[in-house]
Amino acid sequence: MKSAFIYSEEFAQYDFGPLHPFKTARAKIVYELCHRYNLLDRPWIEIIKPEPLCFEKLSLFHDSEYLRLLEAASSKAFAFEMLGCGLGTEENPVFEGLYTLVTLSAGATYKGVELLLGKDFNIALNIFGGFHHAGRSHAEGFCYINDVGIAISHLLKEGFKVAYIDLDAHHGNGIQNAFYGDNRVLKISLHESGKTLYPWSGKETEIGENRGKGYNVNIPLPQGTDDEAYLYAFSQVVPPLIKTFSPDITVGVFGADTHYSDPLTHLNMSNYAPCEAVKAIREISPKLLALGGGGYNIYTSARTWSLLWAIMNKITPEDAFLGLVGGMMFGPEEESGSPEDAPRYTTGDVKQCIQKEVARVVDYIKETVFPLVGV
């Protein structure tokens, strides 16, 4: 079986503005790190260049009128209706070429789906994907086109069962809202609690509705959650649900913004926890579409995503520049000698409060959700 690394140099050619936290250059850094660590030159790995997704396929998830406004905004043809759907705000600025960028991102994710539906590939990565906040008719949270929603909609149309696992520190509200009543999609999101972080949603009590009741699972994490508490919650909830649901394809949003150095979040995790989580996801998923998601310390995020790609392909990173100026990784790094961080631990009364809250959420899911889906 083969793995697809889907990448375009065009990802890094656009700029959201000097003060905006989303930096497109991070995709290029991941690509360069993967080369540096010999993570791409393998016989089963193909580097594939995507094409922008056409209007018809974008419409699998998005409203046509919104797409027309987005296209017009990209050419600076401003209309007040754009503000009503989240375009032209400080959060979601508009600039020349925006439509090309977001449709290229969606095209990369869609290409990954097409490859996985064939016989040759069982892993596909679009590091410039995972825009899980966008709604059918609005932009939000730096997300203009919901490539995840398009991918899931296409898979459902083709008759497949989909597991959606979101490890991003921000709750995947766009996916939850779109498929809240659908039992063909098992949606699991581990994220910092909406009490302290955008998009202020993702409570454990949001478990789906109608046929989808029990198929929407949220694990909100308190501020300061460390690797140990995170992996406890993950191991108790995710593998049992996935094994019972038995999806045809797993779609993973592997945001790197859970890291303690991320400027927009408040967790106390290294990259150890997401690495361990992705190891488990890789083992229980027959086919895996992996998407980048959030990550606003660009060097730490790039390092984490490079490691995740190595894990998905069961490769040990080997630094071609070891011993030269620059150390193990690009950018200022706390660790040396290994691209993988040591686990981080919260201590004292704060740790006890975190453990108690995480255990409460896990128990709630086991008592409420597990019986609904047959675990």
Which residues 6+ apart lie within 8 Å of 64 measured at CB?
55
Catalytic residue among 20, 35, 132, 133: 133
Other CB atoms within 10 A of residue 227 CB? 25
Residue with tokens 């296409």: 154
Q: Based on C-alpha coordinates, what's the Rg of the chain?
A: 19
Cα distances from 259 to residues 161, 230, 311, in angstroms, run 31, 12, 18
**Three-state DSSP class for residue 259:** strand
Backbone conformation region of residue 136, classed left if phi is above 0, alpha if psi is from -120 to 50, else beta: alpha
The answer to whether 57 touches 151, Cβ cutoff 8 Å, is no
Separation CA 176–CA 149 (nearest Å): 10
Cα distances from 12 to residues 39, 87, 92, 109, 306, in angstroms, run 20, 21, 17, 17, 17
Give the residue among 273, 311, 272 at the shortest CA–CA distance from 39.
Answer: 311
The answer to whether 214 touches 342, Cβ cutoff 8 Å, is no
Give the residue among 11, 22, 90, 49 at the shortest CA–CA distance from 255.
Answer: 22
Per the annotation, the verdict on 133 as an active-site residue is yes
Q: Give the catalytic positions in this structure.
A: 133
